[in-house]
Chain A
């Protein structure tokens, strides 16, 4: 049990997670909606006990949200859609 525990959570209180690369990989997949149920369960259990990975998770999540909300969308310039449509209809006429 203790070996399973340390395998899952690393040494409690340690500043470093011994499986940080693996955890980073999994937490990105979870945030990207690409993780399996098993990976989601692993991460949930893991970050309950591993502070460095909980921090990583929160940081990656914050950056992802920031990208989505703060990288403002630019409006399509007026007339672009119309210009493309008229070019397309020229092509139709030629074909």
Chain B
């Protein structure tokens, strides 16, 4: 959570109510949060820290959580911000490229062109978990993130827009590019395995 507006209290909770919100609305998402954190950091300890930081921030800023709204999206947003603001900075592997740079690079024609012609449905269906997981993990973090949120976690575009602080149009175009890049990687795997 970064700006004042985001942390503006919308609801006051008593200690008892806080406990109830954590127990009923926040903790049930710990599994999904840990998996998201692990796919961002690729490291068990880092993922644990990230999830713990997220819960601590959720506690500090709980008054900006409106009960009855989407707790999972709210928590994912904190987690993603923690990753960007705190974690990436102190990470052993700092982000190598600036996202703007990446986005403008991938804005080039090449990536926007459908590239499915030599990737067949059958090849994809023959793939085992490792290949798809490796292909996903090989994507630059911002592209990886939209696929995780949409395809693994089932968030809607408007929820993703809130989690990522970007307009819905950008969610869609980023998703489009991410999927093209993923297909490119899958096609490479398919070629390597001689599926074609």
Contacts and interface: CB of A to CB of B under 8 A. Distances in A.
Contacts of B116: 55-56, 59
Contacts of B186: 63
Interface in A47-67: 55-56, 58-60, 62-64, 66-67
A71 B136 contact: yes
B133 A71 contact: yes
A43 to B, nearest CB: 16
A87 interface: yes
Taking residues whose C-beta sits less than 8 angstroms from the other chain, chain B's interface range is: 35 or more
B182 A76 contact: no
Contacts of A34: 156-157
Contacts of A59: 116, 119-121, 124, 183
A83 B51 CA distance: 11
B15 interface: yes
Contacts of A13: none
B56 A88 contact: yes
Contacts of B147: 67
Given A63-B186, A70-B127, A70-B128, A77 B121 contact: no
